[in-house]
Amino acid sequence: MQRFLIIAGLILLTLGLAWPWLAQSGWWRWIGRLPGDIHIEREGFSFYFPLMTGIVLSIVISVLVWLLRK
């Protein structure tokens, strides 16, 4: 468990330090705009549920955790 927490912390630190560059590059703009994400806009009401984005991120995180446990 300690190994996982150290690796997760290093990944978060790296992403935090690289965030200004990542924000300018725009490679992440697909997050939250995948087919299957629910977005409803009406007058005075807006609802957004990133269903497919959540599923994709869950799969990616599950694969990473599985690889780290090996």
What does the longest C-alpha to C-alpha distance in the chain come to? 51
- Within 13 Å of residue 35, how many CA atoms lie on the same side as its CB? 0
Q: Give, for all 70 residues of the chain, the pLDDT tens digit.
A: 788 889 889 989 998 898 788 777 776 677 778 898 999 999 999 999 999 989 998 999 899 888 888 7
Residue 50: exposure state from Cβ atoms within 10 A (0-12, 13-18, ≥19): middle
Helices in 1-70 by DSSP H: which ranges?
Answer: 2-25, 51-69
Claim: this prediction has a pTM higher than 0.75: no
Q: What was the pLDDT predicted at 49?
A: 92
Residue with tokens 């780290």: 68
State how far the Cα of 18 lies from the Cα of 43, in Å rounded to an integer: 38
